[in-house]
Structure 1
Amino acid sequence: MRALPVRIDAVLVQALIAAALSFAHLHDLALAAGQGGWKAWAYPVSVDLLLVAAWRRLRSGEAKTAGWCWFLVALTASLGANIATAGLLDLNDVPDWLRILVAGWPAIAFLGGTLLAHGATTGTLTRERESASKAITPEAPASAPELPAVEPEPVSPSTTPVPPALITLARKVADEHRTRTGTPIDTSTLRARLGVPLPLAEALSTHLT
């Protein structure tokens, strides 16, 4: 059996070399700024993860302003470490302002990661809400016959048909409300969050109890 030829992607090799060098520079700078032990290794991981999170936000097409903002923050941290360790600074005598920046980076990275993750969750919930709305809204026929006006009869919540997708979304909204407020969601709030008619909101409430 002939062995398959191994092809080396030059672009991938270059990317790995650049990532390793940047990782080492961030580690060296954190170590020189007084962050020894495992903390010095955690700094480059934090910068790279923030870069990846911001890039994913840019690729998703949602809230690109926030994505670009945190991408530039992480890129500045990485590029600054590369420049600082190129002999422009004495790593044996790091200035105080740089020590302050390095010490404050975890709070900055945590804020950026939280905002990016929260924005992604909100966008996902909006898409799920739109999908559920399409599931309960039938498309009108191309040429619907005209029917005489009929007085609508009141519909009880127990007889209102509820799609499973909408029940799943309602449970997610109810769990989010309980986590945030500590109380069960009421019918009015559920109706406002989902944008559904009152009978359908009442029917959903019966499924949540």
Structure 2
Amino acid sequence: MTFEWWFAYLLTSTLLSLSPGSGAINTMTTSINHGYRGAVASIAGLQTGLGIHIVLVGVGLGTLFSRSLLAFEILKWAGAAYLIWLGIQQWRAAGAIDLHTLAQTQSRGRLFKRAIFVNLTNPKSIVFLAALFPQFIMPQQPQLAQYLILGVTTIVVDMIVMTGYATLAQRIAAWIKGPKQMKALNKAFGSLFMLVGALLASARHA
């Protein structure tokens, strides 16, 4: 793989990570409610889920999800239901839980696991990776090394972008002066979770 080819993938991966989705929303809500430590756990969980997707694509299961309507639909509805459930939880928390209480109710381990599930139950991610990776792998060169380069690049880029979202969320949190603003913000993010879940439910198999 040439540097130019890798740089083209780097730009593509960066643009994809920057586009707001369930991972970005999860990172921002965690950063606001649990601070940087919670955000670090969440980002680590997202990258673990992404890494599992990359491995699944590498062993051929990405092709299965891209070709099997049943597999795609099962994962799609599981992901949509989970995101909508997270949105409902966030909405309910807005009316009864303040910043300090919420931070005590969820361990970083739980935040880590939640983030893994957010990424794992997104079928569009694994299908997209299965379609994207072959476009940047040169058949005349060792494929495993190229695949590892693309996989590591994807995870590092997404980690940096999610860290940026967490930092942005901290800036937003600095504007919160009282429980009413916190409630409104939690409701807004809860609505975003439900919206992304609804959009995922409406996604069609390519």
TM beyond 0.5: no
TM-score normalised over the length of structure 2: 0.31
Q: Whose helix fraction is larger, Structure 1's or Structure 2's?
A: 2
TM-score of the pair, normalised by structure 1: 0.30
Larger radius of gyration: 1
